[in-house]
Amino acid sequence: MTTSPDAPAIRLLPDADRASLAGADLLIDARSPSEYAEDHIPGAINLPVLSDSERAEVGTLYVASRFEARRLGAGLVARNIARHLETALADRPENFRPLVYCWRGGQRSHAFATVLSQVGWRTSLLQGGYRTYRRRVQDQLYGDGAGPRLLLIDGNTGAGKTAVLRLLQARGLQVLDLEGLAVHRGSLLGGYADRPQPSQKRFESLLLEALEGFDPARPVIAEAESSRIGELMVPPLLWRAMQAAPRIELEATPEARADFLVSAYSDLVSDLDGLERLVARLPTHPSQKRLEHWREMISVGDFRGLALALMALHYDPAYARSARRETRAQLGSVSLEPGRQESLEAAASEIERLVDGVLP
C-alpha cells in the first residue's frame, strides 16, 4: 500500500492510562476472540484481524515456512480488515479517531492502524499493546500504593449486604460491588450456573476501572469479603485496604435471613441436582445421616429449612469464628429484615448517617 500524503500519521501512545485512552472515539482490540475474552482494556470492542482458527493455522505454517505463513496471514488480515470496514466501521464519520491495539503492538495492530489511517481517520496505536496495559494493572493492584479509603458492610450470610449496597449506590454513595465484578455471591453456594466467573485478569481490569472512577476524597463502601471470591483472588492493594477498613454490621434473625436466601438464591432452588452437589461439598462436611436429611428437604421443597440448617452448621459458626479474630473498628450495627424493602431502605439511611458522622 502506498502512503498517501493526505493520510494522517499514526499517533503512537506509550501509556495505557485513562487520560491517554480517553482521546479516542473507539478502542479496537485487534486480537483473536479468545484473547479478547480472557481480558481486554475496558470499553474496547473486538475487531480481530485473525480469528482463533486462522491464528492457529498461520502459527502452524510458520514452523514450516515463514514466507508461506506471512503470505497466508497477509491475505487473511486484509480480508478481515475489509470486512470490519464494511460492517462495524461502515458508519464512522470523517473525523473518527480510533485507537488500535493487539498483544504487544506488533503486526496485527500495525496492519489495522495503517489501513484506518489511509482512510483518513486520525488513528492511534498503543505501543506495547495489551501487555503495556496489563503491566499498568499489575503495577496498580500489586504494588505498594495506597488503596481506596474503604468502609465495609459486614454481617452474617443472608443479612442483605448486597441489597443494601445497591441502595447506597442508587443514593449516590461510592460503592465497590466486588461480587458483581466477580460474578459470584461470595460463598460456597454463590456461583451462577449460567454465568461463569471472569478470568483473574478480567476481574482485575474491571476492578481497576472501578477504583479509578472513584473520588479519592470520598469513602468507598464495599462488602466485607474473604481474600477469595469464588475462584478469584482479591489483589493485594485492595486486600490491604479491606484489612484496615472500619465496618458496619448488619443484623437480622436467622428466620428472616433464611427467607431472604431462598429468594436471593432462586436460581439454585430451581436446580435440585446442582444444589445437592453443592451442599455435599461444604467444608464442614455433613454426616451421611445429615446429608440424607438435607436431600429429603430438597426433594420436598423445604428450602427455608435447608437454609436454616446450612446457616446453623456452616455459615454462622464460620462468621462467629471470624468475628472473634476481628480487629477492625466497628462503626455501628444496623438491624433489619432483609426481605422487606422498607427495612432495607431504613438500613441504607442509617448507614448513610453513620458514614456522614464518622467519615466526612
Catalytic residues: 102
Which residue carries 446429608 as its cell? 291
DSSP assignment letter at 312: I
Identify whether the C-beta of residue 247 lies closer than 8 Å to the C-beta of residue 153.
yes
Q: Helical H runs in the chain?
A: 18-21, 33-38, 52-64, 66-86, 107-119, 129-142, 161-170, 178-182, 200-212, 236-244, 254-264, 266-269, 272-279, 288-300, 303-310, 316-324, 341-358
Residues 6+ apart with CB under 8 A from 140: 208, 211, 237
Q: Please spell the DSSP secondary structure of 198-265, one letter per residue.
A: PPHHHHHHHHHHHHHTS-TTS-EEEE---SEETTEEPPHHHHHHHHH--EEEEE--HHHHHHHHHHHT
C-alpha cell at 177: 460491588
As given in the structure block, the three cell numbers for residue 15 are 501509556
